[in-house]
Amino acid sequence: VLVLMSLLETAKRNGLEPHAWLTDVLMRLPEWPEERLAELLPLEGFTFSG
């Protein structure tokens, strides 16, 4: 739970809407390559999927 709370707070601090970020990431995860997981972190510059 604490990890999830930390990720949501990070999203908010980086100008992302936390619920939208989490929803987007959960939709991508099943087919996302393991070596590219860092791209899904809620950092500035995150691009939502179409």
Q: Which DSSP string do the residues of 2-48 spell out, in sequence order?
A: HHHHHHHHHHHHTT--HHHHHHHHHHHGGGS-GGGGGGGS--TT---
Can you give the pTM of this predicted structure? Answer: 0.87
pLDDT range class, residue 4, cuts 50, 70, 90: very high
pLDDT recorded at residue 44: 86
Residue position matching structure tokens 């619920």: 19
Q: What is the mean pLDDT of residues 4-22?
A: 97
Is the pLDDT at 50 greater than 80, yes or no? no
